[in-house]
Amino acid sequence: MMSTECSLLLATRNQGKRRELETILKGLPCRIVTLEEFPDAPEVVEDRSTFLDNARKKAQTLARHTGLLTLAEDSGLEVDALDGRPGVYSARYARGEGSTDAENIERVLLELQGVPLAKRTARFVCQAVLYESDKEIGQAFGEVCGLISENRRGHEGFGYDPIFYLPEYGKTFGELPASVKNRISHRSGALREIRVILEGRFRR
Ligand code: IMP
């Protein structure tokens, strides 16, 4: 086993995100550690008004708790016709904590009823932050633009993927294989930059 010096903690309990992060970071010379190895890690309340501040809060809290190099990301969906909602509330849009993906999708579709496809522009955004020894050592942002479809399509991915339509592919993220999503997504955009920072850090 590598030393904790070469371990990277992924600060998320979201299994969908975790799978994507592990795939995108594959091949780095470090052991990827998840919160399952820290059952007593504090639950971080995402109560900040920006993705960056939420990601910072998660990274700092969990780096402090574990003493490990820690990567946190906060991400969500911004819909133009809804003035940017659900935004930082994406995970709990339907009815607060405990909202399911299906309920969140339902609320967005309901709020967009009657809005034509061309006006259903939206983006997924991802803000990633790296923390080590109580210091922020990097941050990166990624986004991907698309349209909110009128119905759910496909079962791949997680969250709002079945209603996030990419005109250039003629498919939603719910219909596209993970290999394509992981190449073009907001998360992969941000994580590509984080990967460069980590590669430099592990070369030292
Ligand atoms: P948080 O970053 O843990 O606050 O949660 C972000 C929420 O945004 C997720 O629970 C999803 O609802 C949504 N989200 C973020 N990234 C994606 C994605 O890649 N696909 C679908 N939904 C996403």
Whether 106 shows a pLDDT value over 60: the answer reads yes
H or E segment at 189? helix 186-203
pLDDT in tens, 61-100: 999 999 999 999 999 999 999 999 999 999 999 999 999 9
Where in the chain are the domains? Answer: 7-202
Of 40, 53, 74, 134, the active-site residue reads 74
For the segment 46-65, the average pLDDT, to the nearest whole number, is 97
pLDDT in tens, 138-152: 999 999 999 999 999
pLDDT of residue 3: 44
pTM (2 decimals)?
0.94
- Contact in structure between 49 and 88 (CB atoms under 8 Å): yes
Scanning 25-161, the segments in alpha helix (DSSP H) are 51-66, 101-111
User: What fold, for 7-202?
Assistant: Maf protein (3.90.950)
Helix (DSSP H) and strand (DSSP E) numbers for the chain? 5, 7
How many Å lie between the centroid of ligand 1 and the Cα of residue 181? 14
Q: What percent of the chain has pLDDT over 70?
A: 98
pLDDT of residue 92: 97
Return the ligand 1 atom nearest residue 86 CA: 8
